[in-house]
Structures are given as structure tokens and as C-alpha cells.
Amino acid sequence: MQKITVETRPIEGQKPGTSGLRKKTPVFMGPHYLENFVQAIWTAIGGVAGKTLVLGGDGRYFNDRAAQVILRMAAAGGAARVIVGQNALLSTPAASNLIRKRKTDGGVIMSASHNPGGPDEDFGVKFNTPNGGPAPEEVTNRIFEATTTITSYDILEAQDVDLSTLGETTLGDMVVEVVDPVADYAALMEALFDFDAIRALIAGGFTLRFDAMHAVTGPYAKAILEDILGAPAGSVVNAVPSPDFGGGHPDPNPIWAKPLVDLVMGPDAPDFAAASDGDGDRNMILGRGIVVTPSDSLAVLAANAHLAPGYADGLKGVARSMPTSRAVDRVAEAKGIDCYETPTGWKFFGNLLDAGRATLCGEESAGTGSDHVREKDGLWAVLLWLNILARSGKSVAGTLSDHWQTFGRNYYTRHDYEALDKAMAEAMLDDLRGRLPGLPGQVIAGRTVESADEFAYDDPVDGSHSAGQGLRVHFQGGARVVFRLSGTGTVGATLRVYLEDFVDDPARLEAPVEEVLADIIAAADEIAGIRNRTGRDAPDVKT
């Protein structure tokens, strides 16, 4: 086995986005593309000589090939050991757990999350730091810098490593340790939750359906929900990870998980339903006759987490991304704990979790998690919900009704306009940015603008400053619209419009969302000129 140095040159566009580098698969499979990026990661972290890393991915097309390349480059860089999930599979939260539990120097996760997979779809790579969390901006900036100056990379000439058999083998001088991707994660869940209570709930006839969307959570959900907690075989569906996610879009929202929505709204609805995404960090929670918004889910979990043994001592604080609804703020206020507002991107929660300032975090984009790992965690959210229902004896719908009666309701929806012309979308937001100072006092679609600004974040732990994190327009009475461009898309630009209004009139707590938000939706269109600029008369996705 010989180490070779391959000459290369910088490839444009290797700037990590909201969560790592995501591109079309053929781009990632292009000459030197993956290798350049991996070498840039090694450079950014001061090399891998003598280090131990975790490696795994969501099983999408090219996952297996990319794993072999990354292993050969780790060996060429002098890494001591790489801990790999069997068949190069690891959910993102399971990878985060292994990085922490084994006290490694970080890990490489191969995933484009909820984006579709396949030869013509998306692939991605991200680096997680030794705390188990996504690399913060300071590290991703260094990675990007390195991609712009790279002249060569090192790789071992070797045969593929057998990643299907558990145990240790070597690649050059490096140990490759193939581990069961599920075992450590399942043990962590068992330590956090009252598995006996959940087992008793299920044994008592409580029915559930979990849709793994042909993605990585299939084996995890089967093991935990069916084998350990006793849900009947078949409760977990689409449980075998496939390279193209069964031709679907592994994004747990009412559009892409429509069969699940139809199920809970129909006559054969189970008591509880849930779905996760490509790499297992997102979640969607449903109950008989109800789809829970991610923002409401975060608020309910924060209000009731003490019912789970792992959180019995209460929460140190909570955090949400800025566009996430402010439902959790009301819970924090009632509990007398801090509530932090961060930019979009799980990486911004890392410092708060490490510093012990927040226990629970969540985002409108179907992500919820806690300080048990440093990623959002789909199955964790499902299990916390089940634990709460088992201990409270309430239904999902009853839990929400009670929550809204206590705290009021933040009606919420997000409208996405996908694959827009990038220059046009940027110009639309640039133009709006310029008009923000003139908006307060204006009456738009019957609502009076109270304030308007661009969100920037000063991290309270390390003092880092992140500017340009979304345009906000607040209305009198508590309604709000936020505009920003997605940092995870791979085609053109995706405009996200986040719409929210607060209602505490007990008679209006169960109204249709689109009805309550109708004038806020109209105001958003008028403020940004969405229809005029994009030529679209409706969003592509509403969550």
C-alpha cells in the first residue's frame, strides 16, 4: 500500500452552507471534487495525523464509494483510527453520539439530509468537531479557505476495506473499526427515557406508525420501537435504507410525508405517528387528526420534558432559531428559564449546549434536540413525545389543546419558493433590506408594521458575530414575517417566508392556520413583491 500525492487545483464553489457542502451527486463524483474537499477539512483541522475520527452517512447513492475515498485519505494523512458504522451507515445523531462517547477528534458525515438522493440528486459532506456538533463558522470558513488554495491531496493506493463485517481491520497503519450503527445510540435513548412506561403504553393497545422514508432511521426505529419497546412488527414502515430513498424525498413534512398525514386524518389513524429524514436528525410528529408543527412540538417538549428521567431535574434553558415560532419563549418565561434566539443552523446551538446554558433546542425546519448529543435528533424527539404521552395519559391532540389553553397559540406556517433564479432572489431581498427602515408605521394588508430589521447574532459564549441572518418584519399584536434564502439548496435559490401570529383568545385556538394567517400571508407578498418578482402565484412547499 503506497501513499500517493495527487496534484489538483482549487474547484470553485466548495463553500459549506447551512450544514456542510451539498451539491448534485455528479458534481461530487467529478474529478478531485470529493478529494479536494476532504483534504481541505484535514488542512482546516491541522491535519489528521495520530487522530481518531468517526465516519458514516445516510446511505444515499455514492455513500459507499465516498467512504472508501475518505478512509484512504485519512490513512494517507496518518490518522490512527477511524470508527465507521457498518456498511458506512450512521444517522447524524448517532455519529454525534459516537464522536462524543469515544472522545474522538471529530467525524465526517456523508449526507445531504432531507434532499433526495440518487445519481442525479444530491450528496453532501460535513465535518463535526470533537464536541459532536457541526463545525462552527470559524472552522467552515477555514475549510473553504483551504479549498481555494489547494494544490495537492494525499491518498493511499489500496483495495476497498470490508465495511460489512463488524470488528477491526487495518488500512496501511490506520485501524478501521466497523461498529454496529444502532447499539450505542439505543443505549443512550434507554438512559434518557422511561422505556418501561412506553412499553406499558404500547402493550396497553396504544398504536403507532413510524415512517423511515427509506432512509437511515429504518434500522434504528425497528430496533428501538419494535424490538425493544414492543410495537408490533410493521409499525415501522419504509425501514430499509435505499440509495435513492425509494425514489422519494426524505423530508418529513406534510408534502413529502403526505401518506402519513392522510393516515392520521383517516378512519384507521393510529394514536401516534412520526417520520424522520434522510440522515435521521429531523422529525415530524402527528397524532390522530393532527399534524404538530415543529415549533409547537419544541414548546410542548420544553413544557413537559421533566416527565422523562433524563430531564427530571428541569431544563437549564432553551434555544430556538430566529425563524422558529416564539411558542417556546412563552414556556421559558413561565418556567423562569433563559430562551436564546440563534441564526438558522444547528451549529449555532453548540456553544449554548457546551456551556450548559440550554438543554433543549429546536428549529422550525423539523429539528429538535437536547444536550445528549450536539445534533438535532429525530428519534429522540419521537421517544420524548412517547415518554410524555405515556406519563400524562393524554392524546397528541389533547396535549396540544391543553398547551394552547395554557400558553396561547403561535399560529405558524412556512412558504418556500424553490429553484428561483439566484440573482433575482438576491435582488429581491437586497431591495427589501433597503426598504426596511421605512416600513414601521405603514399599514400593510390591514396590519401595522411595528418594527423591521435584519437579524444578526452575537454568540454569548465566544462573542462571535454572525450578520445577515434574515429580514424580520414585526406587526403590532405579535405577528411576524421573516424572509431569508435557504443555505441548503443545490439548485438556484430557495426563498423561505416564515409567517406567524399569536392568538390567546380561547375561542380562536383551533382555527385553520391559513385562515388565521391570511392577512399576514398577503402582507408578506406585498412587502417583498414575491408574486411580481418570481412570477409564481403560490409557494412550492408549505410546511
Please identify every residue annotated as catalytic.
113
CB of 426 to ligand G16, least distance (A): 14
Angle at 188 between CA 184 and CA 189, to 5 degrees: 120
Check binding of 365 to ligand G16 (CB under 6 A): yes
Q: Which three cell numbers stand for residue 434?
A: 433597503
**Residues of this chain, 489-518, that bind ligand G16 according to CB under 6 A:** 496
Would you say 330 or 374 has its CB closer to ligand G16? 374
Question: Which among 332, 382, 363, 377 is positioned nearest to 193, based on CA atoms?
Answer: 382
342 binds ligand G16 (CB under 6 A): no
Q: What is the DSSP letter of 95?
A: H
By CB under 6 A, residue 414 contacts ligand G16: no
- Contact window for ligand G16 (CB under 6 A) among 68-76, 455-463, 466-474, 486-494: 486-494
Regarding 281 and contact with ligand G16 (CB under 6 A), the answer is: yes
**Does residue 121 interact with ligand G16 by CB under 6 A?**
no
Torsion, Cα 60 61 64 65, to 10 degrees, reads -140
Is the C-alpha dihedral spanning 324, 326, 329, 331 positive or negative? negative
Between CA 104 and CA 98 the distance in angstroms is 8
CB of 250 to ligand G16, least distance (A): 10
Does the protein bind ligand G16 through residue 325 (CB under 6 A)? no
Give every CB contact of residue 159 below 8 A, 6+ residues apart in sequence.
none
DSSP 8-state code for residue 276: E
If we measure between CA atoms, which residue out of 470, 479, 467, 409 comes closest to residue 443? 479
114 near ligand G16 (CB under 6 A): yes
Terminal C-alpha separation, the chain: 51
Taking contact as CB under 6 A, which single stretch among the options 155-163, 302-310, 339-347, 435-443 is the one that binds ligand G16? 339-347
- Other C-beta atoms lying within 10 Å of the C-beta of residue 144: 18
| Interface residue with ligand G16, options 246, 478, 487, 492 (CB under 6 A) | 487
Q: Does 415 contact ligand G16 by CB under 6 A?
A: no
- Helix count and strand count (H, E) for the chain: 18, 27
| Pairwise CA distance, residues 85 & 82, whole Å | 10
The residues in 37-96 that bind ligand G16, with binding defined as CB under 6 A, are none
Residue 252 CB, nearest approach to ligand G16 (Å): 10
Task: Kindly state the smallest distance separating residue 216's Cβ from ligand G16, in Å.
Answer: 12
Binding test (CB under 6 A) with ligand G16, winner from 246, 486, 513, 536: 486
- Regarding beta strands 493-503 and 480-485, do their DSSP bridges make them parallel or antiparallel, or are they unpaired? antiparallel
Q: Is 100 in the site for ligand G16 (CB under 6 A)?
A: no
Q: How far is the CB of 539 from ligand G16 (least distance, A)?
A: 14
In the complex, the smallest distance separating the C-beta of residue 256 from ligand G16, rounded to whole angstroms, is 13
- For the bound state, the minimum distance from the C-beta of residue 19 to ligand G16, rounded and expressed in Å, comes to 4
- Distance of alpha carbon 71 from the chain centroid: 26
The Cα–Cα gap between 364 and 3 comes to 46
Phi, psi at 433, each rounded to 5°: -55, -45
Q: How many residues bind ligand G16 (CB under 6 A)?
A: 17
- Distance, in Å, from the CA atom of 419 to the CA atom of 492, rounded to the nearest integer, reads 5
Instruction: Tell me if 295 contacts ligand G16 by CB under 6 A.
Output: no
User: Residue from 295, 413, 488, 543 that binds ligand G16 (CB under 6 A)?
Assistant: 488
Q: Is residue 19 within the footprint of ligand G16 (CB under 6 A)?
A: yes
* Nearest CB to ligand G16, comparing residues 124 and 218: 124
Question: Given candidates 346, 455, 475, 498, which one binds ligand G16 under the rule CB under 6 A?
Answer: 346
Is 481:523 a contact under the CB 8 Å cutoff? yes
Window of 149-157, 338-346, 398-406, 469-477 that interacts with ligand G16 by CB under 6 A: 338-346
How far is 281 from 292, CA to CA, in rounded Å?
17
**Contact call for residues 179 and 29 (beta carbons, < 8 A):** no
Instruction: Cell numbers for 491, please give them.
Output: 439548485
Verify binding: residue 377, ligand G16, rule CB under 6 A: no
Is residue 282 within the footprint of ligand G16 (CB under 6 A)?
yes
Backbone angles phi, psi at 412, to 5 degrees: -150, 140
| In the complex, least distance from residue 189 CB atom to ligand G16, rounded to whole angstroms | 19
When binding is defined by CB under 6 A, the residue of 59, 287, 367, 470 that contacts ligand G16 is 367
Binding site for ligand G16 (CB under 6 A): 18-19, 113-114, 281-282, 321, 344-346, 363, 365, 367, 486-488, 496
